[in-house]
Amino acid sequence: MSKTIYNRIKSVLAEKGKTNKDLADALNIAPETVSSWCTNSAQPSVKRLFEIGEYLNTEPRDLLISIKK
């Protein structure tokens, strides 16, 4: 069974040349939390999504996978 992908945090981090640890340090959270978001085994809250977007200079909606086809 394949895992559903909800966010593109891992991709955007790579595009911006940032690591999971960079994001974790910026948000003052555990690197394991960021890792769980990057593997889509957990999802950030809406508030965190905005904080991630601000750190990465990216619109929060651009961190999500579009369901439009």
Residue 4 lies in a domain: no
d(CA 67, CA 15): 21
pLDDT on residue 1: 55
How many domains does the chain divide into?
1
List Cβ<8 Å contacts ≥24 apart for 42-49: 43/6, 43/7, 44/7, 44/9
Q: Domain of 53? A: 9-63
Q: Which residues pair with residue 36 across a beta bridge?
A: none
**Percent with pLDDT over 90 in the chain:** 86
pLDDT on residue 66: 77
pTM of the predicted model, to two decimals? 0.89
pLDDT on residue 3: 74
pLDDT on residue 25: 98
30-49 mean pLDDT: 96
CATH number of domain containing 29: 1.10.260.40
pLDDT on residue 14: 96
